[in-house]
Structure formats: structure tokens, C-alpha cells
Copies of this chain bind each other. A is one copy, B any other.
Amino acid sequence: MFRKGIVFTGSGGQGVITASIIMAEAAALYGGINAVQAQAYGPEARGGATRADVILSDEVIRYPKVIKPHVLVCLTQLAYDKYIHLIRPGGTLLTDIFHVRQLQQADARTFNLDMYREVMDKIGQPIVFNICVLGALLGLDELVKPEHILKVLETKVPKGMIETNKQALELGLDLARKAKG
């Protein structure tokens, strides 16, 4: 049985929810596995940290919330501080250096990558930061094929922005591969 829980966390405007939707669609529409995507609105989301959950499985998914994520993404310090305790022992933690400055001890493969800065240096468009994050995630753990992410992007992104999104995805993949060594 294959089952992975991924939790994306960060702040409004960083594209956390969009990233989770793109991942779930890529898995379900093109990867041939079951995917559920969910996020909380209301009090939980009003403290300044956004959270979106994705579950990928080859079986039916009955409960849409991830309890102990195999993969946790934290794009702000606040989100990190709030959600780091969730991570499954031995899981994969992906954070952004520019936004998460203080890391605690955690029983996880930890990758604090310089994603936002690289996006600004090489692409110059903050809107594709979340796509770079997705790329990095897939570079660390091929949960979904990058080409399936691209297929979803083609249905969601204006034509003139496809190339920029592709660049961001590849930048993330590269950063993760280099970090893995």
C-alpha cells in the first residue's frame, strides 16, 4: 500500500493552497493515484499561518486531514513554529531559508533551501515561488512526476506565464538535487 501525507504551510500570498491543489490534481489526473486536498478556513487559518493538506494513496482515502505528514513544507517562521511538531519521525522537512531563520532539532530529513532568493535572482517573479517549492519537493521525494505538474499548470496558468512556471519548477528540482548531493 502506498500512502503519503504532505502538509504545506506558510502565509497568505505565498501560494501554499495553490501548490497543494496543483500537486493533488497532478497525482489524480495524470499520476493515476488517489489524491485528496483540503484546507481549513476559520479561526485556525486566522492566526497568520496557512495550511493545506494533501494525501496521496493507491487506496481509498477516507479522512482528508494529515495527522503525521511524511512531508512538511514550511514557508514562514510562524508556520514552522506552529506545525513542526506534526512531522512524522524520519519524514522530510522542506523550508525556505529567507523566510525560516530558526530551526529546531527535529527527527526529519531537513532541507532549508534558498528558494525565494533564487526565484528572485534568476526569474524575478515572486508569483512562481510556490512552483519552485513544488519542484524542490519533487526533487527530494518524487511523489508526483514533474511532467504531470506541468500538465496541470498548462490548464491553470495564462499562456504567457507557462515558460516562467516551468523555469521555477526546474529551479526547485535543481536546488533539491544539489542539496541531496
Identify the A interface with B (CB < 8 A).
11-15, 46-48, 76-78, 98-99, 101, 120, 124-127, 129, 158, 160-161, 164
Contact = CB atoms under 8 A, between A and B. Distances in A.
Contacts of A77: 124
Nearest to A47: B160
A126 B11 CA distance: 7
A46 B158 CA distance: 6
A14 B98 CA distance: 16
A48 B164 contact: yes
B76 A125 contact: yes
Given A46-B160, A48-B164, A98 B120 contact: yes
A124 B81 CA distance: 12
B14 A126 contact: yes
Contacts of A48: 125, 127, 160-161, 164
Contacts of A127: 11-13, 48
Contacts of A46: 158, 160-161
